[in-house]
Structure 1
Amino acid sequence: MNALGQIIAARIGAHGPISLADYMQTCLLHPHHGYYATRNPFGRGGDFITAPEIHQIFGEIAGLALAQAWLDQGSSAPFTLAEPGPGRGTLMADMLRAMTRVSGMREAAQIALIEASPHLRDMQRDRLGPVTHLDRLDDLPDRPLFLIANEFFDALPVHQYLRTTDGWAERMVGFDGEKLTFGLAPPMPLPREEAEGTVIETRPSAVTAMSAIARRIAEHGGAVIVIDYGDWNGTGDTFQALRDHAHADPLDAPGQADLTAHVDFAPLAAAAIQAGAVASKPVMQGSWLLSLGAGERAARLAQAGDAGAGAALRRLTHAGEMGQLFKALAVWPRGAPPVPGFEALDADADDA
């Protein structure tokens, strides 16, 4: 068992099994042995490839969508341009390059990156130059906020509950003396009826994060675009570990693999509406990118000599690639035009 595994086993031995959420948080963010504290996980040499690392088209389209929202809301200056979990800074760099085409926007933008990993902060400075790093979303200033969150929410800790004969039992991580193992806590009532054997996942920290973001937008203006893999009111066990671009045992070698779970967009939208903002219906990543001109942009880049633009476009938009698995959701202030590519969700809707 590796060093982080020993730390987790000792904690379990002293205090009992821990929740899946606690395990996920420790594996990803332990200051010395955590996944994001010890490595560069992105790209072909890492464990996974995110959409911004596939091609610049993704960041350019996202940046211009936020730019149009900024224009539609009166071109506020100054404003905060923020990204939580910004990886190597690739997405922000592509967005900023696109935003230079919009008169006055780049000069009005004050960049804020929400990043917990000192290692990744250094990589972001190398890519972007001097930027403001924040520890928490709550540290964002009280002014117009335009924020992109790509594959951020999927890495937030998730709780799992299994419907048993006697109620809902939370999935826990224990230690049998030799290795880490999954187990169940005693059943308890939850206000949700499902068939026996159903697994549901909850992310309280995601709701808290969206509430903090949407509250600022409702009060000061701005827009949010969330892009992640997931569904609307989904069920099932989606917790997974990725290492070297392949699935791995999540309990083997803690801190050495990326741990994620699918995002449920329904509670994010509900949190935004509760905070006083407007939330969109979720849309497929592929259809959203294509509706905003990704196909035309890829064709122009190909004509200019970018031989990989067509293949990248397919990977980003095709149903068999990232096009349908990944969804996008936007948030904007009441009374403002929708963010390009989105339409408002009925506040009373329970499906989408």
Structure 2
Amino acid sequence: MMAGARVLSRAGAAARSVAPGLCRGWCSSPGKEPAQQPQVTPMLRHLTYKIKATGPISVAEYMREVLTNPAQGYYVHHDMLGEKGDFITSPEISQIFGELLGIWFVSEWMATGKSPAFQLVELGPGRGTLAEDILRVFSQLGSVLRSCDISVHLVEVSEKLSETQAATLTKEKAPLERHTGAPMYMKGVTKSGLPIYWYRDLRDVPKGYSFYLAHEFFDALPIHKFQKTPQGWREVLIDIDPQASDRLRFVLAPGATAAEAFIQPDEARDHVELSPDAGVVIQELAQRISLKGGAALIADYGHDGTKTDTFRGFCSHRLHDVLTAPGTADLTADVDFSYLRRMAQGRVAALGPLQQQTFLKNMGIDVRLKVLLDKSDEPSLKQQLLQGYDMLMNPKKMGERFNFFALLPHQRLLGTNCQMNTRQSEPSASSVAGFGELTWR
């Protein structure tokens, strides 16, 4: 143990309770995670060796190792999505979700002058279900997009998931090209005939006019946790439990750590979670959008700088102790959208966060649901559609828990011909689909 490190009660960094069998983003009332038996996993052995050699590690380092370690990382070797995985995401709940996001991108493309080409870039594309729904909308709106050169770019660190995405999105008869050691490690052709590429890092994606999508991406990026004490801010670290060598525990750093530089001087909360990795991604997106145009749409569960302790784990659709059996469960934390806005550093305009129920209603989810219900003659399909709608829109489920956040060029909000409306002191988001009611021009 680090000399002078203070033990932090498990309750001080406990996960929040969720309804079993649902998405990881739907947390209801606070509560304790179910008791779990210690399990000595390869990742636990790796972490204990690491801590014995270098001392307690940050929560960010713990998350990075557990989720993306090349040898034992949870995301690298697990198929965590769907009913057989550890959680379900919105695209798996209802096709309407992806369809409305597809319409959002088309709406933004039209509102910004119908560029002759654009890249659709998705960060952490899961099984490819969301991209599949979006590309189906692009195909259905072929008469609108026929003169536009579209390419698809997926940022994915998991080889297992990239294979699943390829099976979902590409033509069976069109073989994939694989490249070892190159930034673009795989390429193919989508079912609708668009070129599609895979990368491990956003920075490897070609810079150009692009629409970026990050759905349940930022919540999995490593976070640093901090606790306010009478001596000032102290980072929450992870150490070996001296009472049991096969268990981990939370402790407080005895002094200041470098990561404290990310805490705002006027921070009023007594517990803060911040992700420098998220800041790096936002700055990359902001720079690309400000120079090349386009937009970024971020959908995740989170808050606007109000919540404190949200770090939690999920396994088989149930809450899981974050320090038990590392490498076998998903780790996640609510996104602090106020931090993302700050990290954009004014290079682009930031809209939101806006609750999912409001965003989807503005996008016309009620109209789309009615169309699908009217077309269906099967009671079971109608029931599925209604259940999916309820999951997405119900304030007690995902309706208020999930939020939408967008980054756009400043000129996008300055009105026609990039001129500020002189009657407005600030730009208005009312003309941006989802953040205002959808209108077609």
Superposition TM-score tier, normalisation by shorter sequence: over 0.9
Q: Does 1:334 align with 2:410?
A: yes
User: How far apart, CA to CA, are the structure 2 residues paired with 1:285 and 1:323?
Assistant: 5
| Residue in structure 2 matching 1:220, options 281, 284, 292 | 292
User: How far apart, CA to CA, are the structure 2 residues paired with 1:302 and 1:250?
Assistant: 41
Corresponding residue of 1:126: 167
User: How far apart, CA to CA, are the structure 2 residues paired with 1:61 and 1:280?
Assistant: 18
Structure 1 residue 273: Cα displacement: 4.6
Corresponding residue of 1:38: 77
Pairing of 1:154-303 with structure 2 (within 5 A): 154-176=219-241, 177-188=245-256, 191-192=264-265, 198-274=270-346, 276-303=347-374
Normalised by the size of structure 1, how large is the TM-score? 0.93
User: How far apart, CA to CA, are the structure 2 residues paired with 1:178 and 1:78?
Assistant: 54
User: How far apart, CA to CA, are the structure 2 residues paired with 1:85 and 1:280?
Assistant: 21
Q: Counterpart amino acid of 2:145?
A: M
User: How far apart, CA to CA, are the structure 2 residues paired with 1:44 and 1:332?
Assistant: 35
User: How far apart, CA to CA, are the structure 1 residues paired with 2:299 and 2:50?
Assistant: 35
Unaligned runs of 5+ in 2: 1-39, 171-187, 189-195, 414-430, 437-441
**Contact 1:28/1:258 (<8 A) preserved:** yes
Which 4+ residue blocks in structure 1 deviate beyond 6 angstroms? none
**RMSD (Å) for aligned C-alpha atoms:** 1.7
Moved more, 228-237 or 53-62: 228-237
Structure 1 residue 272: Cα displacement: 2.7
Corresponding residue of 1:349: none
Structure 1 residue 192: Cα displacement: 3.5
* 1:148-199 deviation digits (Å, cap 9, x = unpaired): 111000000010001111111111111132311111112437553567x921
Corresponding residue of 1:70: 109
The total of aligned residue pairs comes to 341
Corresponding residue of 2:51: 12
Q: Counterpart amino acid of 1:120?
A: L
**Contact 1:154/1:228 (<8 A) preserved:** yes
Structure 1 residue 207: Cα displacement: 1.1
Structure 1 residue 235: Cα displacement: 3.2
Pairing of 1:81-92 with structure 2 (within 5 A): 81-92=120-131
Normalised by the size of structure 2, how large is the TM-score? 0.74
SS at match of 2:250: strand
**Contact 1:163/1:194 (<8 A) preserved:** no
State, as a whole percentage, how many aligned pairs show the same letter: 37
User: How far apart, CA to CA, are the structure 2 residues paired with 1:48 and 1:282?
Assistant: 23
Q: Counterpart amino acid of 1:192?
A: P
SS at match of 1:11: helix
Corresponding residue of 2:427: none
